[in-house]
Structure formats: structure tokens, C-alpha cells
Amino acid sequence: MAVVCMVFFIVMCCQEISLAKELQINQALVILHNTLSKHNVSVLYLSDYCYKCLYQLLIRAAVQQGDHPTNASATVSVLFPLTLQIVVGQEHNYSAICSRHDSFGEFGHYSIWVHSASGNESVHDLSCRYTTDRAPVNSYLPIAVAFAIMIGLTFIYATGCYLRRLKCTQRYALQLLGTFAHSTSVELSPVPSADDSAQPKRPKSRRLRSLDTFRGLALTAMIFVNYGGGGYWFFEHGPWNGLTVADLVMPWFVFMIGTSVALSFNSMLRRGIHRLQLLRKLTWRTIILLLIGVFYINYGPADGHFSWERVRIPGVLQRLGFTYFVIAVMETCCAKKELKQYLDSFWAPVRDILIYWPEWIFIILLETLWLCLTFLLPVPGCPRGYLGAGGIGDDGKFPNCTGGAAGYIDKWLLGANHIYGYPTCKELYHTTEPFDPEGVLGTINSVLMAFIGLQAGKIILAYRPSNLSILKRFLIWAVLLGFISAVLTKCGREEGFIPVNKNLWSLSFITTTGCFSFILLGLMYYVIDVKEWWGGEPFIFLGMNSIFVYVGHSVLGWYFPFSWQMKHENTHAERLLQDLVGTAIWVLIAYMLYRKKFFLKI
């Protein structure tokens, strides 16, 4: 860790530190120089990620006074490319001079000069000149260095594991141990003989290490992005439509809920546990998840006194708890103890689907309900089936329609004061309405995502021990879900029938993340459980204590050593260092709990 810290502080070059004193992270400075004596000049801006949005005023410079041009400046976000439009005239009576589409660099200084070619200052005689006064910094250098370090550490670890398994290495280690024992008079235990190795080995555990590893990977990513992700935009949730790294984490958890339910419930039924006992167990677990979610999400050291008037009802653990309850009740009613009796049937190749037909009917009806509410429910002041962010989007026609039916249902059922008031679209789309990404309507599709994960578990149960059949069916599901996503989105971010949207948990969001989940779980299953090339370290440690780590990182995230007062807060380097250190500490804590055999279960 000391080496990593040293490398990162070397990466924090003097240029980035000095520029960070003037600007905030992910910002650039734009300066407008007006050399006209008859016209006010304004700069309007539009982000590429703001769909059908209205231009917003960025800078306005008054007419030139005397011989010196009038200057005005403003900061712009460098997260997404911008279109700048330079206009003259008064508000609502603009005349465009020129426009420029550009991606600004972090901490860069840019100037726009507006002047007249002939001096008569007619609109058609005006022109613009763009200059870069100060070059931006390479904001991606810290994460490139961090990635290189992680790749290097992974290579060293893999090489060490490989060398440790070699017979020559083992013999050399035994020789060293023998020499050490002889010099210290320590008696070594005898080396197992060939006869000993012929003894029957202890049967392997049927627990899927790949599933725990997948869960741990998702939790590690969640901790990192929740701590800030180094201030990089792709480690934050997307403004509205689209997909970022942070958007993948929650659906992965929901997918694994379904897979875990399929495997664990089948195991309990085979052990003779009655279905009524399962129902009591899952009900208790749901209640605990809901209570933890409500209390921890609404109170923290900096929140002051708890307020019932503004308590947020939806949340991550609440959604996970409700999703688990629906899937677990469904599986309690429909799970099969033994699947071997279906092997001789003509429909055996699809037995993982046909023998669970009641579950499929329930899910189809549930998804039909989501489609009807989303596209047919009348929302006051909004068009039917509206999926936009509202605000200045869609040419500003529906400013109060954020989320369409999903937002309307949450405000109607829960009240505007009891849902999330700062959605990810607020800054980009200038929205004023609250919107909860863990709302009621989106929870229906959360159940669908868990059902997709449930199918992964059923595939493992139905086709084990044929690993090839399991992997082929994982691939079939991934291709099918990917094809549905391509149709729904028309392979684009905005123009599809149903865009990928994490805030709404849209149908295309479920099929897209479900496709990724099958691919990732299939790869891990092959590498970890089939070939045993990797034991899942270090992610498996977090995956086996996920509730403890999730709640712990949320409650203690603002305390030392998980965070500290940064000297250069406006640099990616120190932010990234802090977030990586905080994440690494939780990995270490999970490893220590694993060694102590402490596993928090609900």
C-alpha cells in the first residue's frame, strides 16, 4: 500500500495541483471577449447527453467600452461534449453568429473572441475566433497508473500461485523446511506417501464459489463508486438514459438474489425442510432487510435529528428485500426437490423452463402490468408513455414530467417528501421534481431481473454435472437477452422504443444487464468451479459477508481511515487514492472475517 501511495503522489504533477486551485474537478474555464460596440454577445450551451434539450445561457458580455473588449467568464463541465452557440441580441431575440461542438479538457482555459470583419457590425459581418489559453491536464493519467498497478499485482499473484503448484517448487520448499528444522531441532510431520495419496479425498463442497465471487466483485465495485470513484464520470450513475459502470452494480446484486434462491431453496428442500419453514424464514429475512434499509438510509452523523416528515421510504435494501420476498415466495411454492425424474421426457432439454411454467405465467403477468402502467397510465400534464427526464428536455415541453408514470405513482403512493429529491438528471436537465430510482414501478422490473437470475440457478441444478450444457445455456440466454436489448433500443442511447435507463429500471435495462450477468457468471463458473484456475480471491471474501460489508461501508464511509481531509481535493489523483484505500480496507476486513469464520447471516 505504501508503494501505491507513493506512485499516486508522484502522478499528481505540479500543473494539476496549481490549476486545481482555480477550478473545481471536471471543470474548464471559458472566457468571452466582446469587441463589438453595438451588440451584447452571449454564449449558449447544450450537452450531448441532454436529449432534445433547450440551449442554456452560459456567459453574457456587454458591449465594448472604449478601446478594450468586454470580458466575461464561466466554468463548464468537461464530463460530456458540449455545443456552444454564440449569439448577439437580447433574451428571446437572439441572432446566431457561430457555433462550435467541442470536448473541453479538465482545468483548461479557452477564449472566444467575437469581432467584426469590416467594422459595420452587421450580423452577417460578425465572426468568432477560438483560442486555448492554457492547455488542459491529462485527467486520466491517475486511473491509468492505478490500472497498471493492479494488473501488475494480479500478474505477480498469479505467477506466485503457479510457481507454488509446481513439483520442483514444492520439493525445494520441503528442502528448505528440512534444513530449517535440522538447524532448530524442529520435528517435521512426515510427507504424505503415495499410499496416503491413494486414500479417498474429502468430497468437494457443492457451494458455488463463482457465485460468491460474482457477488463480491459487484460489492467491491459498489463500494468504490459509492466512495466517489476518483471523481470520474463513468464511475457515476448516468444522467438519464445510457449505461455506466456504476449502473451495472445493483442489477448484478438482484440477479444473484435469484440465483442464490434457486440453489439454496433446492438444498433446503433436499434436506427435508418444510415449505412452511421456508416461508417463515424468508419473511423474517425480508423484514430485517426492510428495517435496516429504512433506518440506515435516513440517518447519518451529518443528518441531524431524524425527521418523520421527510423520511425516504424507498431504498436499495428495501428494493432488495421486496424483490427477494417475491422471488422466494414464488420459489417456495414451485421449487422441485429432484429433477432426475424429468431426464427421460422428450422435453428434457428445456426442463429448466417447462417444469416451472407457473412461475413464467406469473412473471409474464407482472411484466404486462409494468408495460400497461408505464405506457397507458394517464399522467396529468404529461403524454402517455413518457420516459423522459422532463426539465429542459424534449424542448422544455414537459418540465414536471420526470420519469412519467414511475414518478407519478411514487408521488401518489408515497408522497413527494418521502422519495429521493436529487435524481441524477437534476443537474443536467434542470429538473425540479423529486424522483426515486428505487421507486415502486421499477421494483416490478427488479423482480424480473431476479427471475432471470433464478433461471441461471435452475440451469445449474437441472444440467449439473454437465458443465458444457450449463455454459451453453448461459450463452444462449446472453445472446437472447442481448438481441431483445438491440431491438428495444435500436442499438442507440435515446431513439429506441424503450431506452436503457437505470433510473426507471426499464425493460431494456433489465435485458442488457441480464445479458452481461450471464456472460460474467459463465466466465467465472468456468474459471473458478470448472477449471479451478482461480479461487475467487479477494472478491470471494466480500461475497460471503455481503450484508455486513454493505452496511458497514455505508455507515463508516465518512470516517478515518476510509476517508480523510484531502490536501488536493480537486485532483483526481488524491480522490482516486482515497477511494481505492477505502475499498481496499473493506477487502482486508472481509478477509479477516473470513479467516475468523465470521459470516453475518440474516
Alpha-carbon gap, residue 372 to 385, rounded angstroms: 9
Alpha-carbon gap, residue 214 to 263, rounded angstroms: 15
Q: Which amino acid makes up residue 473?
A: R
Task: Output phi, psi for 167, to 5 deg.
Answer: -65, -40
253 membership: H or E segment, kind and range: helix 245-270
Return the closest-CA partner of residue 213 out of 475, 532, 476, 511: 532
Tell me if 107 sits within 8 A of 16, measured CB to CB.
yes
Q: Which three cell numbers stand for residue 162?
A: 503457479
Identify any residues that bridge with 87 across adjacent strands, giving them in sequence order.
42, 96
305 is an active site residue: no
Task: Output phi, psi for 527, to 5 deg.
Answer: -75, -40
Alpha-carbon gap, residue 234 to 147, rounded angstroms: 15
Which of the 8 DSSP states describes residue 133?
E
Residues 6+ apart with CB under 8 A from 349: none
Alpha-carbon gap, residue 116 to 129, rounded angstroms: 11
- SS3 state at 224: helix
Return the closest-CA partner of residue 434 out of 410, 413, 457: 410
Q: How many helices (H) and strands (E) does the chain have?
A: 19, 8
The residue annotated as part of the active site, out of 237, 418, 430, 553, is 237
Q: Which three cell numbers stand for residue 360?
A: 413464467
Annotated catalytic residues are: 237
